[in-house]
């Protein structure tokens, strides 16, 4: 069954005490979240362990990692492996966020390795894809997004791809206040699902969650999340405020 996910990507924001009070406020959200509708929070790496402990008795909140490396262990200063994340009890990890692609030169091949490494440890990768403004304006965005999806995911087995969550995040909508319209987002979500169905079958495609990210906020969340192929949100700026994040989450869990 497709899971509904509202995820908060805090990026490199908030110090420890600010982060802690935000997670404590999110834990108070009164919603109908359950095993099939959950919240996943991605704080900065140093806080993962403490926040995981803080929330481990709340079954509808999970703490995820914003990044990982694909090796299991070794001389890779500054990196964190899926094995290490698993040892903390972490269940989700972002892969291929456009900021990682742009600032840290991560390409589809590296991302494919990270996805495999995470799946080996039983961690769910949230694989991000999405086009820059010039790609959309040149009207080649569908091919561009399909290439990202195919190169990073299509070597997986049917069983493994079914365990991946995809997030469509148009780069021109990230942190810009400019959201994709519900129709623009639905078009891409449907395209991704149909492409997966073609190679991996309808059942697999229908069971996979595909999230939308890019200036999602309380005012536009309801319409975006109502689309047939949108199964949740990956929220940046608006996830840094407990009230706004609660509004988005509650409207979706009802
Ligand atoms: P914003 O919601 O701030 O546009 O960020 C989206 C994002 O990058 C989530 O990963």
Which pLDDT score is estimated for 32?
A: 67
Ligand 1 atom with minimal separation from the 238 CA: 2
Q: Ligand 1: which residues within 6 Å by Cβ?
A: 9, 97, 169, 174-175, 213-216, 234-238
Query: Rounded to 5 degrees, what angle do the CA atoms 230, 62, 87 make?
Result: 130
Q: How far is the CA of 215 from the centre of ligand 1 (A)?
A: 6
What average pLDDT does this structure show over 206-220? 96
> How large a percentage of the chain has pLDDT more than 70?
98
Q: How far is the CA of 74 from the centre of ligand 1 (A)?
A: 32
What average pLDDT does this structure show over 96-125? 97
The residues annotated as belonging to the active site are 97, 169
Closest residue CA from atom 7 of ligand 1: 236
The more confidently predicted of residues 218 and 252 is 218
Which pLDDT score is estimated for 223?
A: 95
The more confidently predicted of residues 208 and 34 is 208
Helix 182-200 × helix 218-225 angle, to 10°? 40
Given a contact cutoff of 8 angstroms between Cβ atoms, the answer to whether 6 and 232 are in contact is yes
- At 196, phi and psi to the nearest 5? -70, -40
Query: Rounded to 5 degrees, what angle do the CA atoms 89, 62, 240 make?
Result: 130
Closest residue CA from atom 9 of ligand 1: 236
Pairing assessment for the beta strands 37-42 and 210-213 based on DSSP bridges: unpaired
Ligand 1 atom with minimal separation from the 173 CA: 4
Encoded tokens for 118? 């995470």
List of domains in the chain:
4-253 (3.20.20.70)
Q: Give the chain's mean pLDDT.
A: 95
Closest residue CA from atom 5 of ligand 1: 236
Among 11, 130, 170, 241, the mutation site with the greatest number of ligand 1 atoms within 8 A of its Cβ is: 11
Encoded tokens for 200? 């991996």
Q: How far is the CA of 98 from the centre of ligand 1 (A)?
A: 10
Q: How far is the CA of 224 from the centre of ligand 1 (A)?
A: 14
Is the pLDDT at 205 greater than 90? The verdict is yes
Ligand 1 atom with minimal separation from the 11 CA: 10
Which pLDDT score is estimated for 35?
A: 62
CA distance readout (Å), 204 to 65, 147, 185: 25, 19, 21
Q: How far is the CA of 169 from the centre of ligand 1 (A)?
A: 8
Among 165, 169, 171, the mutation site with the greatest number of ligand 1 atoms within 8 A of its Cβ is: 169
> How large a percentage of the chain has pLDDT more than 90?
90
What average pLDDT does this structure show over 214-242? 96
Give the range among 61-65, 116-120, 177-181, 190-194 with minimum mean pLDDT: 177-181
Q: Which residue has the tokens 């987002």?
A: 185
Ligand 1 atom with minimal separation from the 128 CA: 10
What average pLDDT does this structure show over 213-236? 96
pLDDT in tens, 6-58: 999 999 999 999 999 999 999 988 766 766 789 999 999 999 999 999 999 99
């Amino acid at each position: 069954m497709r899971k509904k996910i509202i995820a908060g990507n805090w990026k490199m924001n908030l110090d420890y005490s600010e982060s802690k009070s935000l997670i404590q406020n999110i834990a108070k959200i009164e919603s109908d979240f359950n095993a099939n509708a959950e919240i996943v929070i991605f704080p900065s790496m140093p806080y993962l362990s403490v926040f995981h402990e803080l929330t481990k008795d709340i079954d509808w909140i999970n703490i995820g990692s914003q990044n990982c490396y694909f090796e299991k262990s070794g001389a890779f200063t500054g990196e964190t492996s899926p094995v290490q994340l698993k040892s903390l009890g972490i269940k989700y990890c972002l892969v291929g966020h456009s900021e990682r692609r742009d600032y840290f030169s991560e390409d589809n091949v590296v991302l494919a390795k990270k996805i495999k490494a995470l799946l080996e440890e039983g961690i769910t990768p949230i694989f991000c894809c999405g086009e820059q403004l010039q790609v959309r304006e040149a009207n080649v965005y569908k091919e561009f997004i399909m290439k990202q999806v195919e190169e990073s995911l299509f070597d997986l087995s049917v069983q493994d791809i079914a365990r991946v969550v995809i997030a469509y995040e148009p780069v021109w909508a990230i942190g810009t206040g400019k959201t994709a319209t519900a129709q623009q987002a639905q078009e891409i979500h449907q395209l991704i699902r149909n492409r997966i169905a073609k190679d991996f079958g309808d059942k697999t495609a229908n069971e996979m969650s595909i999230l939308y990210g890019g200036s999602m906020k309380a005012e536009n969340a309801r319409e975006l999340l109502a689309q047939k192929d949108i199964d949740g949100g990956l929220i940046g700026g608006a996830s840094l405020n407990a009230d706004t994040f609660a509004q988005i989450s509650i409207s979706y869990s009802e």
